Amino acid sequence: MSKISIIVPCHNVEKYLPKCLESLMGQTFCDIDIVVVENGSTDGSLEVLRQYAAKDPRIMVLTSDIPSIQAARNMGIKASSGEYIMFCDSDDWFAPDMCEVMYKAITKSGADVACCNVTLEYAEDLSEEEKRIRDYTEYYKLKKTGLHKLNNSIIMKTSVVVWNKIMRRSIVEKILPFYKTVRVHEDNLLWYLYSLNADSVFFVKNSLYHYLLRPGSIMSEVALKTCDSSVKMERILVINHVLDYLQSLQNPTKEEQELAVTICENMLREASKQLNDKERQEVCNSINERVMATLRTEVFFIPADADIMNVHDNHPLPLLMWKGLMLKTRRTFNLLRGKKVSGNLKRKILLNEMKIKYKKDSCSHNSGTQTSF
């Protein structure tokens, strides 16, 4: 049994595999196993893998005929033996001391997960326009350093990617049955499920992971798929998988409930940008019913412009009406002074009125005991 297992999904990356594998084999921390899952490649990737596996007994090569990153990761996790799990995309690479630094971070701090900073690398054939569009530097940049309690705010502000993290096998194995297939946003699902079982995180300021931006990469395809109408409901599928997990707990804690609602809110808001008015309303109704059935908690999601709003039960109607009065008073005061009423103020008034109407309608239709958090 090794200390760390590194899971590497592989698909049509013959050109990039050697650099990836060399970086893993050359780690200063040697107590690792490397599980590479070849996933239906049509180039020479499998032959490259076999050559490297013959050089280093720590490399295990598996093959899968399921065209899914998720399926490859699941297969790799089940075949590995490490006490801790790390991930690497097959066209990226680790800094020489990544495993050593990450292992020390999670073991010495006692955290449930550790995250490091990321260095973006650009392929020579990546156009300047693609570089501009796909410059995710700020997204991957850690906002904190050191040990922190993993609260809702930190969870939602941390990038969901799994390859800049080290995780405990005990937690990964617990959530694996719920890490089900989604066509995109598989990192969101794994991070959210893991977060529901983790208490603390350690942020490593070092940039230890090298993420290659290149044409035709998995992330390029994901970006295109995200704009594809055929996958626009995948975020809703992530929500349902998370709620499936919460339902399995039978009696989720208040903190678990709150995190689940925050996840729903975040994924719904992003999904709403691709949905039309009718779809937004249908999705909101569906998630409201699912949240109530799963968590026994009233949380109202309502469509508004291109976003989906969340009206919690801990915002009582009198408070909303008082807020509406204050907003309208501010509008009247501006008009009396001859000032233009800003679009932002108009929007706040409209949203507040929508919340009041929705809450009145919902409360009039609901009966029986309602639980709020």
pLDDT tens by residue, 178-228: 999 898 999 999 999 999 999 999 999 999 999 999 886 654 444 444 445
Q: Which of 135, 91, 138 lies closest to 117 in space, CA to CA?
A: 138
CATH topology assigned to domain 4-231: Spore Coat Polysaccharide Biosynthesis Protein SpsA; Chain A (3.90.550)
Structure tokens at 65: 């005929």
CA distances from 98 to 26, 33, 112, 250, 260 (A): 10, 14, 17, 39, 32
Instruction: Examine the pLDDT at 123 and tell me if it is beyond 60.
Output: yes
pLDDT of residue 1: 87
Q: Taking residues 126-142, what's their average pLDDT?
A: 79
Report how far residue 85's alpha carbon sits from residue 2's, in angstroms, rounded to the nearest whole number: 10
Answer for the pair 320, 352: CB distance below 8 angstroms, yes or no.
Answer: yes
**Beta strand ranges found along 194-352 (DSSP E):** 200-213, 299-304, 307-312
Structure tokens at 43: 């180039």
CA distances from 260 to 57, 118, 217, 343 (A): 42, 27, 31, 32
* Residue 176: pLDDT band with limits 50, 70, 90: very high
**Beta strand ranges found along the chain (DSSP E):** 4-10, 32-39, 59-64, 84-87, 93-94, 113-122, 146-149, 165-168, 200-213, 299-304, 307-312
Answer for the pair 73, 42: CB distance below 8 angstroms, yes or no.
Answer: no
Pick the more confident residue, 314 or 40: 40
Phi and psi at residue 50, to the nearest 5°: -65, -35
Q: Which of 274, 283, 115, 96 lies closest to 191 in space, CA to CA?
A: 115
Q: Say which residue the tokens 């900073």 belong to.
A: 117
Instruction: Examine the pLDDT at 266 and tell me if it is beyond 80.
Output: yes
Q: What is the CA radius of gyration of the chain?
A: 23
pLDDT of residue 222: 43
How confident is the model over 65-84, as pLDDT tens digits? Answer: 888 899 999 999 999 999 99
Report how far residue 92's alpha carbon sits from residue 20's, in angstroms, rounded to the nearest whole number: 6
CB atoms within 10 A of CB 229: 8
pLDDT of residue 229: 59
Which range is least confidently modeled, 35-49, 132-146, 162-176?
Answer: 132-146
For the chain, domain boundaries: 4-231, 232-313, 315-368
How confident is the model over 336-369, as pLDDT tens digits? Answer: 888 889 988 998 898 888 888 877 776 555 433 3
Round the average pLDDT of the chain to a whole number and report it. 88
Q: Say which residue the tokens 């009406």 belong to.
A: 321
Instruction: Examine the pLDDT at 14 and tell me if it is beyond 90.
Output: yes
Environment class of 25 (CB within 10 Å of its CB; exposed 0-12, middle 13-18, buried 19+): middle
pLDDT of residue 371: 32
How much of the chain exceeds pLDDT 70, in percent? 91
3-state helix, strand, coil in the chain (%, to 5): 50, 20, 30
The single-letter DSSP state of residue 194 is H
Q: What is the pTM of this model?
A: 0.84
